[in-house]
Amino acid sequence: MAALRLVVGLGNPGPEHAGTRHNAGFWFVDALAADLGADFALDRKLHAEVAKARVAGEVLWLLRPTTYMNRSGLAVQGALAYYKIEPDQMLVAHDELDLPPGTARLKFDGGHGGQNGLRDIVGQLGHGKFHRLRLGIGHPGHKDRVTPWVLGRPGKADEAAIRGSVIDALAVMPRVLTGDLNGAMKQLHTNEDAGKA
C-alpha cells in the first residue's frame, strides 16, 4: 500500500449536526488535525475545509466537506484532482451502522453499504478503491429507524464508546499513514481486545 496523502472525514456541516452519529467521521478528522497540529481553513473552490500537515516529511491533506453528506463526492473528487492524489492514497473516515459503538475497522475497496457519503464518493469516482476507517455507531434495529438514528445524538455511553474508537484509530494512524495497513489492523484488534479484558 502506498503512503496516504489525503484523509477525509465525512459528516454534515453546521452546529446542529456536530454531535450526531453521522458526524463520527468529522470527530475523527478533527482529532487527527489536533494530533498533527494542523488547522482547518475554508476552501470554497473545493467545497471543503482543508488542513495541511506533515508526516515523516511528506504533506498530508485533511478534508472536511462543507456539502451535506449525500454530496461528499464533490469535495473528494475536487481534492483528488487539485492535489493530484490517487484514490488509493486516500482514507475516508465515516460512521458505520454495521459495527457496534466502540469498534473501529480499516478496510480497502468495496461498496458503500448504504452510507450516503460513501455512495456519492463511489458514484463520483466510478469505483470504491480507496481506504476506509469505519467507526461503529450501532444499528437501531429496523431500516425505517436508520435516518433518525444517524441524524440523532448518541446517549452518553455510546458517545463515549464512539469517541474511544476515535482514540483507538488515532493510535494506529502512524502505521496507516505510512502504508502499513495490515499492521494497523492488527494493532486495532489488539487494542480493542485489551480494552475489553
Give the tens place of pLDDT for each residue, 149-173.
999 999 999 999 999 999 999 999 9
Give the CA-trace dihedral at 126, 131, 135, 136, to 10 degrees: 70
Is 22 catalytic? The answer is: yes
Q: Considering the domain boundaries, does residue 109 fall inside one?
A: yes
Whether 146 is covered by a domain: the verdict is yes
CATH number of the domain residue 52 falls in: 3.40.50.1470
Domain that holds residue 187: 6-196
Confidence of residue 179 (pLDDT cuts 50, 70, 90): confident
DSSP letter for 7, please. Answer: E
pLDDT tens sequence across 18-53 = 999 999 999 999 999 999 999 999 999 999 999 999
Secondary structure (3-state) at 193:
helix
19 backbone dihedrals φ, ψ, rounded to 5°:
-100, 10
Q: Tell me the pTM.
A: 0.94
Q: Is residue 1 part of a domain?
A: no
Q: What is the dihedral of CA 27, 34, 14, 11, to 10 degrees?
A: -40
Return the top range by mean pLDDT from 109-123, 151-165, 180-194.
151-165
Name the one residue in this structure whose C-alpha cell is 453546521. 14
- Please count the structural domains in the chain: 1
Contact of 106 with 135, CB cutoff 8 Å: no
- Point out the catalytic residue in the list 22, 47, 94, 131: 22
Flag whether 119 is in a domain: yes
What share of residues in the chain are helix, strand, coil (percent, to 5)?
50, 20, 30
